[in-house]
A and B are shown apart, each in its own frame.
Chain A
Amino acid sequence: QKEVEQNSGPLSVPEGAIASLNCTYSDRGSQSFFWYRQYSGKSPELIMSIYSNGDKEDGRFTAQLNKASQYVSLLIRDSQPSDSATYLCAVNPWGHTGGFKTIFGAGTRLFVKA
């Protein structure tokens, strides 16, 4: 069974701190990795996508991928109360020929305290 695992949290950080969210996946051949943010009662919103080993930065967000360790992380710098949400790690096993069969982790609930 292909799985994506996340710490369910809640993860609580003070405003202005760095929030670190982690995710591991079981299918070593996975190709595409995504982080989504989901507010309560809303649909998931794409935060970051990453496809190759290393870091990818976008504003206050940095995604890190280590395929050898089967590990994906998301760092949120200068955390704001508006960042309080559930963060979903998503892994698509296949590359450009296979289409989508995305597996989502259960999500990590983040609370940013003002």
Chain B
Amino acid sequence: KAGVTQTPRYLIKTRGQQVTLSCSPISGHRSVSWYQQTPGQGLQFLFEYFSETQRNKGNFPGRFSGRQFSNSRSEMNVSTLELGDSALYLCASSPETPEEPQHFGDGTRLSIL
């Protein structure tokens, strides 16, 4: 079974730009969560999507948004990029319920110049 696929793997952007990251979950997984990982803050929860609806949201500004499509693929968008948005963005998928653990993709490393 293929794992969680994130594209692109690396991105370089400049301040003020916007970026869209993509995540394809493991086949059959309907829950997709996004996390930001930085050396200073560690792994922080951004949001979770389930059946095309945002089910949970972390404490990030509105510049961070996401969506999920009917095939469970998800995208995350960051607008008006700031230097502090430089991070590894990780997507994790899971089956129906939180009793099932999440499995992570390889991540997208975003660098802001």
Contact B101 A49 (CB under 8 A): yes
Interface size, A (range) = 20 to 34
Contact A100 B33 (CB under 8 A): yes
Residues of A near B64 (CB, < 8 A) are: none
Contact A100 B106 (CB under 8 A): no
Residues of B near A88 (CB, < 8 A) are: 43
Distance, CA A99 to CA B48, complexed state (A) = 8
Residues of A near B48 (CB, < 8 A) are: 99-101
Contact B56 A99 (CB under 8 A): yes
Distance, CA A88 to CA B43, complexed state (A) = 9
If over half of B's interface residues share one DSSP class (helix, strand or loop), that class is named, otherwise mixed; here it is strand
Contact A102 B105 (CB under 8 A): no
Residues of A near B94 (CB, < 8 A) are: 100
Contact A98 B98 (CB under 8 A): yes
Contact A96 B97 (CB under 8 A): yes
Mask, A39-78, CB within 8 Å of B = 1, is 0001111100101000000000000000000000000000
Given contacts A99-B50, A101-B48, A101-B56, contact A43 B104 (CB under 8 A): yes
Instruction: Give chain A's interface residues, CB within 8 Å of chain B.
Output: 31-32, 34, 36, 42-46, 49, 51, 88, 92, 94-96, 98-107
Instruction: Give chain B's interface residues, CB within 8 Å of chain A.
Output: 31, 33, 35, 42-45, 48, 50, 55-56, 58, 88, 90, 92, 94, 97-99, 101-107
